[in-house]
């Protein structure tokens, strides 16, 4: 046995792994789980007789591929700029009501993107909320937006928090003395941002931007509603009539995702300047005449990402309830019928968050402590899974349960659903877990070791408590994503297992706007409450 382990260790080291053998064994196992969607795509391409290479170079693929890339790049760039700007404004300037904006800025994350898109479209449609609000004061509702700009607008509004959260944590954690030193050396506020803050925050912004990119690539709901043709809508369209094409497109998408994750991984290496968190309060940059535009930017961001969709949902719910009271046909809108989907949503979110954090922790140790070629590859696979549309993830895990001998009992079970979620969203916990691992001073562990604490006790008594804020932040992201996830839930959930997201979708499909509105409001309220209790309350950057 020891000899086998030794041999394995030598092989793994040759393959570019470093660190304790048990750690990378666990990591390889986890990587294999995260590779399920990719393996599935390869298997189906073979069994269906797809021609991925020909698909990749065919004219029919060019448009959706180009559309996917330009949307993802545009949304990533806009989210990076907006998220960084908001982070700097709320953490380092004299923006009024900073504490409120610090809580409000991440909140658009709780909104399922398809809900935001549906609400926007409905509000701007003839007879929608915008017309009802604007026509009495003699204004015309803006023309309908859809296609690229509609998708760009909605996706940026709901995904900038992926950048805002890490950027705000990073900027808030910078020792103020760096910026003060820069000011005393003659640099103004903007120059200080460019020369001191930005180089320090770049890594965090980049990590968040990768998430945005992958999220946009995987998104189905917004582009479908906006009538914008991307890889994911084409996969969905072709999945029944031309399965080989759908799987070939899936493979194309996976290649895009893995390539981008790999590029980002390579870029992040150069920007790892580590710093201890600062103590004293930071000096606020006086905004002066920029104060009004700054307030405008913050209000507009939170407004379009959160307040406007919530207003539309509330409007739907209100109209439905009013009609019901007036004796019209019951159009849904029954709050008590939402309690079971709400409970299911919370359960799925919490369990997925816990499992995801536990699963990525070994990977975080491997990539954080023992940088190596192999660890980097594992990381890329985990990140890439985020870009695979939930639809394909669900198909992959269902396929695995049906075809792999001995796994049949998992078919359409709760654990299978959780597995699908964890594979899809694991990377969101991985990044923050890596930060958590990096913040634990190894001397503390050594101190615990000299006091006779074993590996497990050190992990539970020293490392996990110290990493808790980071782990909670990552788990919180996973939880939010899970609670609003739609396609994977539709396909992989046990029969009769309804969540708020599936409820909104079904009600919206059936035209029960009141029901959709109520379910949406409940989802946002529950997400916001859980995020508050589990993440924001413990997060340093809000103090």
Partner 1 sequence: MAMCRSMPCLIWEVSPNLSALGVTWSTAPGTGAGDAPRGRGRRLVVEGLSFAYDETPVLQDISLEVRAGSVTALLGPSGCGKTTLLRVIAGLERPQAGAVRVDADTLSTPERMVSPERRRIGMVFQDGALFPHLSVAENVAFGLPRGSGQSEAVAEALALVGLTGFGERSPATLSGGQRQRIALARALAPGPELLLLDEPFANLDPMRRVELRGEVAALLQSLGITSVFVTHDQEEAFVMGDQVAVMNEGRVLQSASASELYGRPSSRWVATFVGEANLVAGRSSGTCAETPLGPVPLTEAAAGACEVLLRPEHLALEPGGGWEVERLEFYGHDSLYVLRDDAGRTLTARAAAAPLHHRGDRVSVRYAGPPTVAFPTP
- Is 288 a binding residue for partner 1 by CB under 8 A? The answer is no
- Is 275 a binding residue for partner 1 by CB under 8 A? The answer is yes
Choose one: 108-116, 176-184, 481-489, 530-538; the region binding partner 1 (CB under 8 A): 176-184
Angle, helix 198-218 to helix 161-173, in steps of 10 degrees: 160
Choose one: 14-22, 127-135, 255-263, 272-280; the region binding partner 1 (CB under 8 A): 272-280
Which residue among 199, 293, 296, 494 contacts partner 1 (CB under 8 A)?
Answer: 199
Minimum CB distance to partner 1, residue 177 (Å):
4
> Which residues make Cβ contacts (< 8 Å) with residue 407, sequence separation at least 6?
400, 401
Segment 309-368, which members bind partner 1 (CB under 8 A)? none
Q: How many residues does the chain have?
A: 543
Choose one: 270-278, 308-316, 325-333, 504-512; the region binding partner 1 (CB under 8 A): 270-278
Q: Identify the three-state secondary structure at position 274.
A: coil
User: Rounded distance, CA 220 to CA 132, Å?
Assistant: 30
Which residue among 61, 200, 218, 481 contacts partner 1 (CB under 8 A)?
Answer: 200
CB burial string 318-331: b at 16+ within 10 A, e below: ebbbeebeeeeeeb
Choose one: 108-116, 120-128, 195-203, 535-543; the region binding partner 1 (CB under 8 A): 195-203
Q: Which residue's CB is nearer to partner 1, number 206 or number 413?
A: 206
Helices (H) and strands (E) in the chain, counts: 28, 0
DSSP codes joined into one string, 301-369: HHIIIIIHHHHHHHHHHHHHHHHHHTTPPP----SGGGHHHHHHHHHHHHHHHHHHHHHHHHHHHHHHH
Kindly tell me the sign of the dihedral angle through the C-alpha atoms of 238, 40, 485, 165: negative
Per-residue tokens: 312: 């539309």
For the chain, the first-to-last Cα distance in angstroms comes to 52
Minimum CB distance to partner 1, residue 539 (Å):
22
Which residue among 187, 206, 238, 506 contacts partner 1 (CB under 8 A)?
Answer: 187
Q: Quick check: 200 and 174 in contact, CB under 8 A?
A: yes
User: Rounded distance, CA 474 to CA 31, Å?
Assistant: 18
Choose one: 192-200, 223-231, 352-360, 442-450; the region binding partner 1 (CB under 8 A): 192-200
User: Rounded distance, CA 264 to CA 260, Å?
Assistant: 6
Which DSSP state fits 408? Answer: G
Minimum CB distance to partner 1, residue 279 (Å):
9
- Is 90 a binding residue for partner 1 by CB under 8 A? The answer is no
Q: Identify the three-state secondary structure at position 93.
A: strand
Q: Which residue's CB is nearer to partner 1, number 278 or number 376?
A: 278
Minimum CB distance to partner 1, residue 195 (Å):
7
- Is 449 a binding residue for partner 1 by CB under 8 A? The answer is no
- Is 283 a binding residue for partner 1 by CB under 8 A? The answer is yes
- Is 182 a binding residue for partner 1 by CB under 8 A? The answer is yes
Which residue among 139, 185, 460, 525 contacts partner 1 (CB under 8 A)?
Answer: 185
The site for partner 1, by CB under 8 A, has a size of 20
Choose one: 153-161, 194-202, 207-215, 443-451; the region binding partner 1 (CB under 8 A): 194-202
- Is 273 a binding residue for partner 1 by CB under 8 A? The answer is yes
Q: Between 405 and 444, how does the x/- string for binding to partner 1 read (CB under 8 A)?
A: ----------------------------------------
Per-residue tokens: 269: 């290496």
Footprint of partner 1 on this chain (CB under 8 A)? Answer: 175, 177-178, 180-188, 195-196, 199-200, 273-275, 283
């Amino acid at each position: 046995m020891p000899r086998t382990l030794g041999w394995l260790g030598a092989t793994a080291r040759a393959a570019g792994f470093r660190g304790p053998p048990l750690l990378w064994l666990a990591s390889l196992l986890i990587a294999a789980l995260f590779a399920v969607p990719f393996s599935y795509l390869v298997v189906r391409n073979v069994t269906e007789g797809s021609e991925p290479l020909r698909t990749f170079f065919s004219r029919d693929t060019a448009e959706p591929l180009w559309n996917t890339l330009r949307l993802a790049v545009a949304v990533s760039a806009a989210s990076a700029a907006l998220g960084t700007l908001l982070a700097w404004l709320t953490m380092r300037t004299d923006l009024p009501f900073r504490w409120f904006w610090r809580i409000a800025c991440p909140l658009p994350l709780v909104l399922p993107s398809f809900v935001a898109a549906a609400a926007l479209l409905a509000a701007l449609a003839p007879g929608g909320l915008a017309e009802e609000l604007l026509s009495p004061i003699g204004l015309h509702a803006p023309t309908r937006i859809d296609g690229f700009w509609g998708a760009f607008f909605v996706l940026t509004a709901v995904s900038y928090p992926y950048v805002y959260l890490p950027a705000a944590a990073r900027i808030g954690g910078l020792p103020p003395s760096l910026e003060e030193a820069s000011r005393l050396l003659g640099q103004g506020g903007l120059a200080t941002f460019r020369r001191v803050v930005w180089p320090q925050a770049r890594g965090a912004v980049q990590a968040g931007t990768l998430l945005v990119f992958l999220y946009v690539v995987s998104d189905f709901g917004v582009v479908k509603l906006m009538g914008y043709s991307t890889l994911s809508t084409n996969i969905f369209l072709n999945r029944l009539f031309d399965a080989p094409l759908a799987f070939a497109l899936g493979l194309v998408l996976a290649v895009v995702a893995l390539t981008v994750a790999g590029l980002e991984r390579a870029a992040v290496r150069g920007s790892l300047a580590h710093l201890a968190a600062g103590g004293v309060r930071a000096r606020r940059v006086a905004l002066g005449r920029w104060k009004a535009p700054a307030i405008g930017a913050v209000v507009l961001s939170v407004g379009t990402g959160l307040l406007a969709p919530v207003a539309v949902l509330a409007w739907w719910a209100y109209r439905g309830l009013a009609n019901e009271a007036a004796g019209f046909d019951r159009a849904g809108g029954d709050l008590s019928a939402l309690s079971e989907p709400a409970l299911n949503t919370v359960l799925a979110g919490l369990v997925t968050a816990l499992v995801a954090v536990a699963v990525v922790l070994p990977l975080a140790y491997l990539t954080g402590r023992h940088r190596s070629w192999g660890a980097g590859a594992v990381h890329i696979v985990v990140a890439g899974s985020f870009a695979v549309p939930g639809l394909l993830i669900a198909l992959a895990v269902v396929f695995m349960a049906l075809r792999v001998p001995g796994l049949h009992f998992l078919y359409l079970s709760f654990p299978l659903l959780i597995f699908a979620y964890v594979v899809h969203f694991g990377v969101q916990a991985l990044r923050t877990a890596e930060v958590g691992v990096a913040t634990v001073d190894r001397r503390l562990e050594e101190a615990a070791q000299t006091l006779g604490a074993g590996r497990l006790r050190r992990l539970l008594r020293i490392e996990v408590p110290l990493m808790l804020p980071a782990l909670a932040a990552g788990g919180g992201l996973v939880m939010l994503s899970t609670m609003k996830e739609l396609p994977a839930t539709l396909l992989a959930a046990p029969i009769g297992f309804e969540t708020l997201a599936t409820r909104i979708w079904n009600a919206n499909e059936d035209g029960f706007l009141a029901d959709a509105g109520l379910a949406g409001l409940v989802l946002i309220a529950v997400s916001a409450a859980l995020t508050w209790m589990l993440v924001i309350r413990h997060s340093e950057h809000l103090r």
